[in-house]
Amino acid sequence: MDIDSFSSREDVMNAIRICPLALEFAHSEFRDDYLVVAPAVYKDGRAFLYASERLRDSGAIILAAIKTQPSVMSFLPRRFFKNRHWLLAAVKTSGRTLAYLPEHLKSDRDFVMLAVLQDGSALEFAHPSFRDDREIVEVAVKGCGRMLKFASFALRHDLNIVKPAVSNCTLALSWCASKVRADREIVLTAVRYCGGVLECVDEALRADPEVVLAAVQSSNHWSPRSSEPALKHASETLQNDAFLQFWADMTPRGRRNRRARESFLRKHGERNAKLQASVDLWLIKNGLVEHLSAKRNKCA
């Protein structure tokens, strides 16, 4: 894109509105214009590289850039890293800027706490000593469950740490201690979001009909680790179950339609007797009578 010939700020800003990186081709006059550069770096931090030297030295422009592109920190003059107040503002803007701070600041609890509050994934860049800091790890996994991977072994046993992690990132289950992967409540929460994590759960729960049913009914029933369907990781008996195979073989669209249909039928009471009978028999056979509706239980 060549906008060097554009004579007005309005023309340049229109081009930048479409593609912020078009700032690279603007005349030097516009690359030194705060009103042109600021909107570009707010939209895409990489545009910072094409600003004038004067504006690349502006704290406000830098903060705007690191909001979407923390790596901009690696292009800053050393003097910025000597200003504690400014660095706190940078971490508050984007927690992942912690990765670019001097090592002594990665060990500073004020910086680390501020970073994980802004972005839980910043725990990855903190000093390893914080992986056993209960308060910091709890804040981090609530924002990014994947950070359970960086928690200490002791904290991966703690249900108060594990539950929020699994709730927002089911893959976190794979980093839990073995006793947590045998906790039925936590496992059910995880497989309902992502049935594929059945691969990570305790062997006894892979033979639990309710857990396996929740996994195969999940909208995402493929394992994120082995790219295999959830049913592949169930017990041999349940793998050969016709009802579970029916769910496992369904296309994503068919799965959505089936759930919507069953929801509609439950709401309006217009059930297909043959289909419902087969479902009820399967639930009763596997000891899941509590899944029958209150009305049918009463009739029984």
List the domain boundaries for the chain.
Answer: 1-76, 81-168
Higher pLDDT, 17 or 8: 17
Residue 164: pLDDT over 50: yes
Quote the pLDDT of residue 255: 66
Residue 300: pLDDT over 80: no
Quote the pLDDT of residue 83: 93
Residue 250 class from Cβ within 10 Å (0-12 exposed, 13-18 middle, 19+ buried)? middle
Collect all residues with Cβ–Cβ distance below 8 Å to 250 and sequence separation of at least 6.
Answer: 258
pLDDT bucket at 117, cuts 50 / 70 / 90: very high
Phi-psi region of 64 (alpha: psi -120 to 50; beta: other; left: phi over 0): alpha
234-268 pLDDT, tens per residue? 998 998 988 888 888 877 677 667 666 666 666 65
Taking alpha carbons only, the member of 164, 161, 208 closest to residue 184 is 208
Query: What is the SS3 string spanning 200-265?
Result: HCCCCHHHCHHHHHHHHHCCCCECCCCCCEHHHHCCHHHHCCHHHHHHHCCCHHHHHHHHHHHHHH
Rounded alpha-carbon distances, angstroms, from residue 34 to 20, 39, 262: 14, 9, 57
Residue 297: pLDDT over 60: no
Taking alpha carbons only, the member of 19, 15, 18, 54 closest to residue 34 is 54
CA–CA distance, 246 with 217 (Å, rounded to integer): 10
In the DSSP assignment, the letter for residue 45 is G
For 267, other C-beta atoms within 10 Å of its C-beta total 8
Taking alpha carbons only, the member of 54, 43, 100 closest to residue 75 is 100
CA–CA distance, 164 with 77 (Å, rounded to integer): 39
- Beta-bridge partner residues of 229: 222
CA–CA distance, 39 with 21 (Å, rounded to integer): 11
Q: What is the mean pLDDT of the chain?
A: 85
Residue 299: pLDDT over 50: no
Structure tokens at 139: 């804040």
What are the φ/ψ torsions at residue 177 (nearest 5 degrees)?
-65, 155
Question: Alpha helix locations (H) across 81-200?
Answer: 84-93, 103-106, 109-118, 134-143, 159-168, 184-193
Chain centre to alpha carbon of residue 255: 23
270-285 pLDDT, tens per residue? 556 667 777 777 887 8
Residue 133: pLDDT over 90: yes
Rounded alpha-carbon distances, angstroms, from residue 54 to 58, 62, 184, 295: 7, 11, 59, 73
